Amino acid sequence: MRHPILISLCLVGTVALTACNKGGDVTRTLQDVNVVDESNLNDIMLTVADPNEAVAYFQRTLSENPRRIDLMRGLGKSLIRAKRAPEGAAAWRKVSKHPQATDEDRVDLADALIRSGDWKGADEVLDRVPPTFETFKRYRLEAMVADSNREWKKADSFYETAVGLTTRPASVMNNWGYSKLTRGDFPGAERLFGEAIRQDSALFTAKNNLVLARGAQKNYTLPVVPMSQVERAQLLHTLALSAIKQGDVETGKGLLREAIDTHPQHFEEAVRGLRALENGAAG
């Protein structure tokens, strides 16, 4: 009758002894689990969490592990997401000085510097990235810096390269189009904005820019692109302002009236603009 009890005690002792012998392995396993859990939490903080909450999380975690570059990167990304560009640039500068820093980190620093208005600093950082490091983000930033320096030929080359390195080129095409717009190349700008919209029909910025490019050529008709009723009213308003700016005031008034009639709600901005024009004419 005692044999089952004795066997059970032996088994318990064996398990206990095994646990003792493998205590180090168990501890390492638990540490591995904790690292996986933390990694998942870091990913959540960088994607779906409130940006300022993510900043606080990475600041707190980084204070406990000040040399971990993954946490330093997380803080830099979170600050940029929170639209705290100067702080983000400072954070990315620290990352770039870390012994494990990569060329990708330096590109992220350049991005943060551009967002904080330090175009010269961004240019200097990008100059230190070897030409063999070819990514969409790198060339998009190079194009933007070239634009800021009015180096149009370089800008076009960088934009073209960037477009070829992504499967979602709409935003960079829009930037390229805006570059053409600022140079006065209105047909070129119109073509690029049209391409951006074909790539992403929801990109309202490109639609608005397309209207500006057409208006600059005194083409005051809306382009044939997908648009909601509210977007149509807003684009008519943009077109009206373009016409007025170029001295075609009566055309502008007509477009403002059309924008007011088109908008499904009260379009205060257009109403105010039309009233100002009519009061000015009456005066």
CA atoms within 13 A on the CB side of 22: 10
Q: Which segments of the chain does DSSP mark as H helices, in order? A: 3-21, 23-47, 51-64, 69-81, 85-96, 103-115, 119-127, 136-148, 152-164, 170-183, 186-199, 204-216, 229-245, 249-262, 268-282
> CA-CA distance, 165 to 159, in Å (whole number)?
10
Per-residue pLDDT of the chain (283 residues; tens, 9 = 90+): 444 433 333 333 443 434 444 444 544 443 444 444 667 888 889 988 899 999 999 999 999 999 999 999 999 999 999 999 999 999 999 999 999 999 999 999 999 999 999 999 999 999 999 999 999 999 999 999 999 999 999 999 999 999 999 999 999 999 999 999 999 999 999 999 999 999 999 999 999 999 999 999 999 999 999 999 999 999 999 999 999 999 999 999 999 999 999 999 999 999 999 999 988 765 4
Token digits of residue 58: 């990475």
Q: What is the pLDDT of residue 1?
A: 46
Which residues, other chains included, contact 49 with Cβ-Cβ below 8 Å and sequence gap of 6+? 57
Residues 235/238/242/248 CA torsion (nearest 10 deg): 80
Q: What is the pLDDT of residue 15?
A: 38
Contact 41, 47 (CB under 8 A): no
Which residues, other chains included, contact 155 with Cβ-Cβ below 8 Å and sequence gap of 6+? 143, 146, 147, 176, 179
Q: What is the pLDDT of residue 23?
A: 46
What's the length of the chain?
283
Q: What is the pLDDT of residue 282?
A: 52
Q: What is the pLDDT of residue 69?
A: 97
**Backbone CA torsion sign across 89, 91, 92, 98:** positive
Question: Nearest Cα to 116, choosing from 86, 142, 96, 149?
Answer: 86
> CA-CA distance, 110 to 89, in Å (whole number)?
8
DSSP codes of every residue in 21-38: HTHHHHHHHHHHHHHHHH
| pTM of the predicted structure, to 2 decimals | 0.80
Burial tier of 56 (Cβ tally within 10 Å: 0-12, 13-18, 19+): middle
